Amino acid sequence: MKNLPACFFLLLFFFFNSLRLAAQKNNWQTLFNGKNFSGWDTYLGPPLDNTGKKISEVPVGLNKDPKNVFTVIDQNGEKVIRISGEDWGGIATKKVYSNFHLQLKFKWGSLSWGQKKNKKKDSGLLYFATGENGADYGAWMRSQEFQIEEGNCGDYWGVAGGIQDIPSVKRPDSSYVYDATGTLNTFSATSATGRYCMKQGDAENLTGEWNTVDLYCSGDTSVHVINGKVMMVLYHSAQLENGTVLPLTKGKIQIQSEGAEIFYKQINLEPLSAIPENMLK
């Protein structure tokens, strides 16, 4: 072996490296097939008027979309999901997931509606979504929210009973912001800190440009990442069920329609055995 030329070993390296990369790539599951909503359900809450108020308490419902809030369109030669935002609701995977790395791309459109009109454009990535449709504002399932909102991408909201512990510090205005060295505070609808925690820093691209979202979930720990930058690390995912705190470590993935036009593409997921150590520091 010692007499073999160096180029042989170089070719051998590239061969095995290509096999490794191919194996890694094969671990990815494509959640959006680039054609339609196969593998997803749509859900819309009660219809809203021009101010964003509910016209009735009766939801539009499951897989009913008379206004075409959710469509797949051709944009610059590529099939993407368009969510108009005209009514509140979302698309949700039919399957339940745990211990995963989810990656997707989004960019903002130009339209906004109701109470969100001419305000920050809003959507959201809901994970560990479970229970009934419409549990929050008649539109969303119980879940943990990776906020997708202009200027606030990466924030946390506990949705319809979602609970997370997040290291954070209290600001003068009484809001809380993620700080890896801060106090581990509990965020929920019933806690003194409330159910909202701001991310640290800003990594969102300019409106109209594509952004990459990475969500890492392992056990009851998750990490919110925007364009390669960690926004926050969250611990002890749980839910409040009839007054009892229970673990929340698996569920569907739901993407919100919340008053703003937004586009999504390249929604992929891979199994995750552990969150990379460098993200937990």
- The candidate with the shortest Cα–Cα distance to 216, out of 266, 124, 146, 122, is 146
pLDDT of residue 51: 87
Three-class DSSP category at 26: helix
CA distance 270 to 101: 5
Ranges of the chain with pLDDT below 50: 9-10, 12-14, 16-24
Return the exposure string of 161-172: e unless at least 16 CB atoms fall within 10 Å of the residue's CB, then b.
bbbbbbbbeeee
What distances in angstroms separate CA 274 from CA 24, 177, 181, 220, one per listed residue? 15, 25, 21, 11
Which H/E stretch holds residue 13? helix 6-26
Whole-angstrom distance, CA of residue 1 vs CA of residue 254: 55
Report the SS3 class of residue 91. strand
Q: Is 24 helix (H, G, I), strand (E, B) or coil?
A: helix
**DSSP for 164-185?**
EEEEEEE-TTS-EEE-TTSEEE
Q: % helix / strand / coil in the chain, to the nearest 5?
A: 10, 50, 40
Task: Quote the distance between the C-alpha of residue 254 and its chain's center.
Answer: 7
Give how far Cα 20 sits from Cα of 15, 214, 224, 237, Å: 9, 22, 27, 33
As beta bridge partners, residue 216 has 101, 223
- What pLDDT score was predicted for residue 19? 41
pTM: 0.90
DSSP structural state of residue 281: -
What are the structure tokens assigned to 116, written together? 């969100």
- Which residue from 200, 203, 201, 210 is spatially nearest to 227, judged by alpha carbons? 203
Q: Which domains does the chain have, with CATH numbers?
A: 6-280 (2.60.120.560)
The set of residues, in sequence order, having a beta carbon less than 8 Å from that of 4 and lying 6+ positions away, is none
Cβ(135)–Cβ(240) under 8 Å?
no
